Amino acid sequence: FAGNAIVIKTSEYASWSTRFFGRMIKACLLAAGAPEHLAQIVTGYGDAGHALVTGGVDKVIFVGSVDVGKKVQEACIAKLTPLVLELGGKDPFIICDDASPKAIAQLACRGVFQNMGQNCAGPERFLVYETVYDDFCERMSQIVKRMKQGAPLESAQIDCGAVRLPQHMKHLQDLVNDAVSKGARLLAGGFTPTASSRLGQGQFYPPTVLVDVTEAMLIWTEEIFGPIMCVTKVKGGGAAGDAEATRLGNACNFALSSCAFSKSSARAAKIVSALESGMGSVNDLEGTTYLSQALPFGGSKMSGYDRFAGAEGLRGLCHVKSVVADRFVYHGGPFLALPDQIAYPATGQGPGFCAGLMKMLYGHSMAVRFLGIKDVIVFSVTKPKKDPLPNLDDDLAEHIKKS
């Protein structure tokens, strides 16, 4: 227990759930033997968040949108408050030509439609090689068309719930409309329920499968944060296909997480290593990195910077101090830490002595190091002719004389 207290400011749209979240945190703290009030939760709008960020905290970790993240960054500048930004992403989900769409199908759906796609780390761009493209699209279509949507608390058989933000419904539909107008095809969903319909009674956007998505569409560049599966065809196979899939995966301003699937784990790992992202999974859903709290979490580009979780995240919550203690050399003891050759006032031995010391310690060959030892010895016993330079007392006397 390091003593760090935490104040959690939730989104105003998630205030209701803080009651349950708070009880969970309290139970964990008590189980760990820590003070139960070590973590506090506050609710409110932007002014509450601003007051928290500028109120003298030691560090801020923000998880949210790019626009709000920029405002948090601006607020932290005044007091140079350290900041971690995790701003979401458009994670690529790459399916190679030797992968099995049948085996991947359910995992792909889970990645997109769990929590209605409202996850910071979630696949938003499915990059599928052309030889398995039609098979994958057909399987996605058949699964999604059988999914049931509604209030999750009404039945354990509900697959998809609601969209959290009221204004987000229009954002999702605008992205779909733009993509369709530019050549994308809808295989499932893609409409806003009418007000008089069953789904129209709430903020329900149907699970959607959108295929033939290209880089020219808004949905390629803008974060979806919703239940829309976007599928793009990767032309070519083998090494050429891998190169194109990697290019497409990196052709985005976000870089949070990524994943690749192949019959060859080595091939998938090579693709993941070439993708610009803070995290990556080989033959598994990219969000699985979060399941291991020993791993740092975060991204780059517009997905933010720095990390939380893992050793790196924990170290970031500490004030790091570097301390050096000499083992064998003690000031005032039998050994002197500073040789006479470089003591004040200068005797003229210093430059040659130090040059020899550098050769002795860092020479690239034994010959150079022995030469350094020789120089150290020579400049230790040889004193240059004393220069008739005035010292500070002489300068002071001259100053007084001429004042």
Catalytic residues: 86, 120
The total number of residues shown for the chain amounts to 403
The pairing of strands 83-86 and 254-255 is unpaired
Inter-residue contact 86 to 303 (CB < 8 Å): yes
Distance CA 302, CA 89 (A): 8
Nearest to 229 by CA among 125, 148, 136: 125
- Per-residue tokens: 189: 């969903």
Burial of 355 (0-12, 13-18, 19+ CB in 10 A): middle
* DSSP state, residue 258: -
Which SS3 state, helix, strand or coil, does residue 52 take? helix
Angle 358-359-363 (CA atoms, 0-180°, nearest 5)?
115
Query: For 54-167, where are the alpha helices, taking DSSP H only?
Result: 66-77, 101-113, 130-145
Vertex 283 angle, CA 280 and 288, to 5°: 50
Contacts of 247 (CB under 8 A, 6+ apart): none
**Six token digits for residue 90:** 């458009």
